[in-house]
Amino acid sequence: MNLTIENIVLVGSLLLFISIIVGKTSYKFGVPTLLLFLMIGMIAGSDGLGIEFDNPEIAQFIGIISLNFILFSGGLDTHWKSVKPILKEGIALSTLGVLLTAISLGTFVWLLTDFTIYESMLLGSIVSSTDAAAVFSILRSKSLALKTNLRPTLELESGSNDPMAYVLTIAFLTLVVNQDQTIASIIPLFLQQMILGTVAGFVFGKISKFIINKIKLDFEGLYPVLVIALMFITFSATDAVGGNGFLAIYICAVYLGNQDLIHKKTILKMFDGLAWLMQIVLFLTLGLLVFPSEVIPYLGIGMLISLFLILIARPVGVFLSLIFFRMKMRRRFYISWVGLRGAVPIVFATYPLLAGIEKANMIFNIVFFISVTSVLIQGTTLSIVAKWLHVALPEKVKPISAIDRFISDIPKNAMKKIKLNYDSNAVGKKIVELGFPKTAIISMIERNDNYTIPTGATILEENDILVILSENEKSIEEVEQCLE
């Protein structure tokens, strides 16, 4: 079946519907949802029901767009207070850990196959990072509660290590295509990508916050659309100046997720839904792109490389990158095990295809097999291994997402009415600009004998009577200081 304008909406919506329905029951059988999305795409493809899709360029475009939403949503859901204590460990894993994984796996591939050293390192780079979509999806869908700072470490690593893998992939692809260049020639590219990406992320985060809180839109539903526009501007502008767009949007999202924003709850909910949509679309697309008949010849070599990655290369990257940090051995082992490979390596594997290098098809099919086995072997055993290593909390203790945290932040233990005088610091300001403590909110405003429920965009006026709800009296005192 050829995808045409007449049937693409029908086919796409049916695949989306089937994916959601099948995914609803998948965990009863211990099968990760994302793997099912991939399988549905494969079943619908040329070797299955006959939907013909063989366009790596379109698949890469869909992949990049999807990764924007997935990384941005993950960043918005990253709580700075939980990440701050393990920031150094997370950065070490997402940079040095990725590099060591790529080098060790690349060396193994070079010794095992007839790949050149640069082709081997290219394959190692493509699968060197943990996949944000897979980790976010599986950890949150399973509501897996882990001890201390283990969960934030895993989510920070998976959300921030794709940029490193991307830079390594582009760098070694350049060396494969241009045999006359040396490894030393790619170091400036690496530094440029990471430094500009980091700076751009913070700069665009601050600019985005200013725009979101200052612009006056007539409809609440337009604010998530505004954030989508800012997200793509951040990615494309960073990429245009030679920085790493993936790193920039993740940092921008982490910054925004920990700021007071107008209609923040609406933005968070919207991006949570869009991230799931993009995960489904991405895995379905990559499933359609793969020809199972072409993967079968590489099952043997693929399994050897996959097992080496899971059992040797990933642990080497984790243990060496964390060697200077105090952490219990069983936690290091668990971090090693949660080295899930998913859609991101498959997206990165389209770069060699588009570059037209000799072994591009072989690399793509091996990477696909590695991703499937990783999600199947590691993704289905996260809970079991967590219990074996004694890093899991009781099942009744569940992690709190950004949305749940936003809702649970509404306090109920203390209440006070405060009238704004003409000389109050709050008069003429939006609520979002006041810097309220997280444990207090303005639940209602009495103005001219009328009661209104405020939003972050509400501008306070003289003689307003604010009804403050707070967790404790201390927070009430902090509120009064903000309103002085």
- In CATH, 411-483 is 3.30.70.1450: yes
Q: Give the pLDDT score at 106.
A: 94
CB atoms within 10 A of CB 212: 23
User: How many of the other CB atoms lie within 10 Å of CB of 65?
Assistant: 15
* Beta carbons within 10 angstroms of residue 265's beta carbon: 16
Rounded to 5°, angle at Cα 112 from 107 and 116: 60
Q: Report H helices in 45-86.
A: 56-76, 80-83
Task: Find the helix or strand (DSSP H, E) in which 469 lies.
Answer: strand 465-470
- Look up residue 431 and give its DSSP letter: G
Per-residue pLDDT at 395: 53
Q: How many whole angstroms separate alpha carbon 449 and alpha carbon 119?
A: 74
Q: Token digits for 361?
A: 């098809």
The backbone torsions φ and ψ at residue 398, rounded to the nearest 5 degrees and listed phi first, read -115, 145
Residue 253 CA to residue 231 CA, distance in Å, equals 8
The residues spanned by each domain of the chain are 8-402, 411-483
Q: Return the number of other C-beta atoms located less than 10 Å from residue 182's C-beta.
A: 9
Half-sphere exposure of 214 (CA within 13 A, CB side): 6
Ordered alpha helix ranges (H), 127-221:
132-141, 150-160, 162-177, 187-214
**Among residues 283, 379, 370, which one has the least CA distance to residue 70?**
283
pLDDT value at position 313? 94
pTM higher than 0.85 for the full model? Answer: no
Residue entry with tokens 């668990």: 334
Give the separation between CA 3 and CA 46, rounded to whole angstroms. Answer: 12
CATH of 8-402, one of 3.30.420.310, 3.30.360.10, 1.20.1530.20, 1.20.1250.20: 1.20.1530.20
Closest CA to 375 of 26, 12, 20: 26
pLDDT tens across the length of the chain (484 residues): 555 655 667 777 777 787 777 666 555 544 566 677 777 777 777 666 767 777 888 888 988 998 899 889 888 888 888 788 888 988 899 899 999 999 999 999 999 998 999 999 999 999 998 876 667 666 665 556 676 678 788 878 887 888 888 889 998 999 998 877 777 777 888 889 889 999 999 999 999 999 998 888 888 889 999 999 999 999 999 999 989 998 899 999 999 988 888 888 889 889 988 888 888 888 888 888 888 788 888 899 999 999 999 999 999 999 999 998 888 898 899 999 988 887 788 889 999 989 888 889 999 999 989 988 888 888 778 878 888 888 876 554 444 444 444 444 444 567 778 888 777 877 888 877 777 777 777 878 888 877 787 877 778 888 888 888 877 777 777 777 777 7
Question: Residue 100 burial by CB count (10 A; 0-12/13-18/19+): exposed, middle or buried?
Answer: buried
Supply the pLDDT for residue 120: 94
Which residues are CB-contacts of 201 (< 8 A; sequence separation ≥ 6)? Answer: 234, 238, 247, 248, 249, 250, 251, 252, 255
Q: Rg of the Cα trace of the chain?
A: 24
Q: Give the model's pLDDT for residue 407.
A: 43
| CA within 13 Å, CB half, 227 | 31
